[in-house]
Amino acid sequence: MRHARLLPLLALALPLVAQGAWEPPIFADSFEGPIFADCDPASVQAALDAVPDGGTVRIRAGSCDWDDALVTWGGGSGPGRKTRVTVRGAGTATDGSGTLIRRNVAMGNWYDYMITFQCGEGAMVELSDFRVVGNNQESDLDAGIGLYGRCRDFRVHDMVFEKFSNAGLTVRGPQQRGVIHDNSFLSNFKCVPGCWGYGVAVYGDGSDAWPPLQLGTAEAVFIEDNYFHDNRHGVAANYGSAYVVRHNLFVSTQRTRDYGQIDAHGPSRDGDGVRHPGSRSWEIYENEIHGDGASGNQYGDGIALRGGDGVIYNNTVKGYVPYAASLNDDDCSGSRPQPYQTTAAYIWSDHWDEDWEAIPGYDPDKVWIRCPDLLEEGSDWHLDQQPPGYQAFPYPHPLRP
C-alpha cells in the first residue's frame, strides 16, 4: 500500500543526503528452507525456538485466539546469541486465507506483548504478512508486537495492527534503526482509565544521556507509506527516541480528535523533581492528515509535539485541523532554558487542501505554542525556515526491496 500516491507530489526543498559508508543489508528467506508453524502460540513459539539463526518462520493461514500467551524470540549475548530472523504469514485477509492472531482476554501489564523480539546487542528482524488483533477492551493494556533492545536494520511491512489499548507495534531500546512500511494501524485506542492507544510507539532506552541531534541520517526508526485510522496517537514517542514519519496517511475520528495523530512526549519530572528527557528528534514530512467527517469529527489535532527537535514540512492538512503543528513542553515549568527542552524546531511549506475550513480562534499560518515561557520563536522554533545544511534521508528507505 503506497499511501504516498494519495499525496500531492511536492518537490523536496533540499537534496537527499548521501548514504556514506552505510550499506543496507539484504533480506531473504534462509536457503535451508523455512520452518512452518500453525497460528496458535505454542506452534509459533516452537518454530521460533527451532529456527536456525538467520532462518525464516512461515505461519500458515488461519485465525487463532491466543488467550494470555506470551511468545518470545532472541535474547542472550556473546557468540551463541541469535542475530537474525524473518517471520512471515499468509497475508492479512480475514476470510481464512490470511494469518490472524488475536488477543481475546484482558491483560494487566503494558509490557505483555503477544510476541516480543529481544534484539540484544543488535539483531535484525523482519516481520510481514499477518494480522495482529487486540481484545478491543479499553479497561486493560494489551499490546501487539514488541521489538526490544538494540534492533538494527529491522523491517515490518504488509501487516495490520488493530484494536490494542497499549500499542499495535512498539520499538523500544537504544540505537534502534529500521523501517516500518506499508502497514495499517487501526483503532488502537484507550482512555478509560488513563489514555494510551498508539499505532506505533517508539521509545529509547530512557537514560538521561542527550546525544547530539542527528537529522537526515539512517539512525532513526522510519515510518513510511502506512495507513493510520482511529488511533489515539498514530505515532507516539518518548525516552530519547528518534523517528522519521513520512508519506503516511493519518485519519482522526470523533473519539481521537483531541489527540495528536503524530506525537512526541517531552521532558518529565519523576519523584526526584529533576527533569528527565523525552523524545530526542523527529522528522515529519510529506504526510496527509485529516479528520473523518463520516464519524462526525469536528476538528482534530494533527502534529502535536511536546518535546524534541527536528523538522516539519510539506505535509498536507485536510478538514478540521487548525494548525501546521503544536509545540509544547510536557513539564513546562521554570524559566528558559530548561534541560532537554526543544531548541531546534523548524517548520515550513505545510499547506491546506481545498476542503480545509477555518476554525475561529486559530491562525493556520502559525504554529500553536502551548508553552511560550520556554519556547521562543527565532531561538527554539523557526517558522518558514530550514535548518542549515539539512538533507532528507533517501526515500523510499534503502532497506525496502
Tens of pLDDT, residue by residue, the chain (401 residues): 444 433 333 333 333 333 445 677 765 555 567 999 999 999 999 999 999 999 999 999 999 999 999 999 997 777 778 999 999 999 999 999 999 999 999 998 999 999 999 999 899 999 999 999 999 999 899 999 999 999 999 999 999 999 999 999 999 999 999 999 999 999 999 998 889 999 999 999 999 989 899 999 999 999 999 999 999 999 999 999 999 999 999 999 888 888 899 999 999 988 888 999 999 999 999 999 987 766 555 567 789 999 999 999 999 888 777 777 899 999 999 999 999 999 999 999 887 666 666 566 666 667 889 999 999 999 999 999 999 999 999 999 999 98
Residue 293's SS3 state is helix
Dig out the grid coordinates for 380 from the structure.
527554539
Chain mean position to CA 56: 25
Q: Going by DSSP bridges, is the β-strand pair 249-252/56-59 parallel, antiparallel, or unpaired?
A: unpaired
Instruction: Indicate the helix (H) or strand (E) that contains 336.
Output: none
Give the whole-angstrom CA distance, residue 366 versus residue 379.
16
Q: Grid cell 509545540 — which residue?
A: 327
User: Could you state, in order of their start, the residue ranges of all structural domains in the chain?
Assistant: 1-17+219-394, 34-215
Amino acid, res. 10: L
Q: Specify the residue for cell string 500531492.
A: 8
C-alpha 275 chain-centroid distance: 24
Starting at the edge strand found earlier in the chain, the sheet holding 152-157 runs: 35-37, 56-59, 84-88, 124-128, 152-157, 177-181, 221-224, 242-246, 281-285, 309-313, 345-348, 381-383
Give the CA distances from residue 1 to residues 6, 61, 78, 181, 249, in Å, rounded to whole numbers and listed in that order: 10, 21, 39, 9, 11
